[in-house]
């Protein structure tokens, strides 16, 4: 029996990958990336760091455990990392038409339709991933039926502005107050802080809170090129003149590094997985981390006041920096996980101890 393809992914180099449409059927364009995680597609698809991207899952079977029911606890979705799906398209090898999980409420196909996100299955994800590994992340477009769309580069947009909150939001009741600069932060960053007894004030990416009362600052993850976050960089640069604790995660690491004088660069195909090994500098300790980023820090521009904290054991790229004397630190990986291992969750404890 022949497969009836009705949609196609086209890369900017002219490569085509036919597939079968599911989810919301429409054309779309963005940056094509891949994630090698075996589980966690509900958390991954709701991660704002994927804004503007067409996501390829290398794990062959997706959708087999469905999608959990939306459930709000203390103003946050319990099972998702934001209140929306942020990818522009989903590419998988095999879609499970039947799902089974005690928490599942609906099929992945239904969920994608709710947020008007197109999916393709039957894609040769192995060939696609090898293409992206060889040539790097590329622009791509998904065509459905006879509809057409032009290529577009999401990294030329201010994606952080699109996913950040518009007004401050407060979570928790702790005596210690942490400002979370929301560059597209995952909900589990907030859960991880509130669960440790602090109050979190989540503020927009360009919000000037420097004259307000707070004990520490966390800079969240987020999508796109960190150079687009110059208002955030300017705020953090002023923070570094003081002594209150500052902790950056993922894009927050890049923003902190830019404020401290480092440079950032676009990686060939980035790190998007749940098994990235990171070595803590000066120790024999290696942590397995969850990661999702396409840009990285070049720490050569930092002064002697700063030191590398973590490095990636696979490619040697920088995975964290910290100040030698002040309570400033950041990591490229995700200590809040979701999805992925919780090996580095203790870094939240370290931050709280500094407050």
Cite the active site residues: 250, 334, 336
Which neighbouring-strand residues pair with 90? 55, 119
From the list 263, 333, 246, the residue with the least C-alpha distance to 297 is 263
Helix residue ranges, H only, the chain:
41-45, 108-114, 125-135, 159-163, 187-194, 230-239, 251-260, 346-354
Q: How far apart are CA 181 and CA 226, in angstroms?
A: 14
- HSE-CB for 54 with a 13 A CA cutoff: 30
User: Residue 17: how many CB atoms within 10 A of its CB?
Assistant: 23
Q: How far is Cα 211 from Cα 290, in angstroms, rounded to an integer? A: 34
Is residue 26 classed as helix, strand or coil in its secondary structure?
coil
Which of 82, 86, 24, 12 has its CA nearest to residue 52? 86
Report CA-CA distances (Å) from 256 to 143, 246, 271, 332, 339: 39, 9, 19, 11, 24
């Amino acid at each position: 029996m022949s497969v009836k393809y009705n949609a196609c992914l086209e890369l900017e180099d002219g490569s085509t990958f036919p597939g079968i449409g599911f989810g919301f059927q429409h054309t779309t364009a963005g940056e094509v990336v891949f994630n090698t995680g075996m589980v966690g597609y509900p958390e991954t698809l709701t991660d704002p760091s994927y804004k503007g991207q067409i996501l390829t899952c290398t794990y062959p079977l997706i959708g087999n455990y469905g999608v959990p029911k939306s459930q709000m606890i203390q103003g946050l979705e319990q099972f998702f990392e934001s209140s929306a799906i942020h990818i522009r398209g989903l590419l998988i090898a095999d879609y499970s038409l039947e799902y089974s999980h005690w928490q599942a409420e609906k099929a992945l196909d239904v969920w994608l339709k709710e947020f008007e996100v197109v999916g393709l299955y039957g894609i040769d994800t192995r060939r696609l991933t090898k293409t992206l590994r060889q040539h790097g992340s590329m622009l791509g477009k998904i065509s459905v039926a006879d509809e057409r769309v032009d290529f577009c580069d999401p990294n030329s947009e201010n994606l952080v502005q699109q996913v950040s909150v518009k007004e401050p939001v407060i979570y928790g009741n702790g005596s210690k107050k942490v400002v979370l600069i929301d560059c597209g932060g995952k909900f589990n960053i907030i859960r991880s802080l509130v669960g440790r007894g602090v109050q979190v004030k989540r503020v927009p990416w360009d919000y000037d809170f420097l004259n307000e009362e707070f004990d520490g600052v966390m800079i969240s993850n987020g999508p796109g090129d960190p150079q687009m976050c110059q208002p955030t960089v300017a705020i953090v640069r002023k923070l570094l003149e003081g002594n209150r604790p500052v902790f950056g995660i993922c894009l927050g690491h890049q923003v902190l590094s830019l404020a401290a004088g480092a440079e950032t660069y676009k990686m060939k195909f980035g790190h998007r997985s749940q098994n990235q090994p990171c070595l803590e500098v000066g120790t024999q300790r290696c942590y397995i981390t969850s990661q999702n980023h396409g840009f990285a820090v070049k720490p050569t521009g930092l002064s002697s006041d700063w030191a590398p904290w973590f490095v990636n054991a696979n490619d040697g790229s920088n995975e964290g920096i910290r100040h030698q004397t002040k309570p400033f630190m950041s990591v490229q990986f995700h200590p809040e996980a979701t999805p992925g291992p919780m090996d580095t969750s203790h870094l939240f404890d370290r931050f709280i101890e500094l407050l």
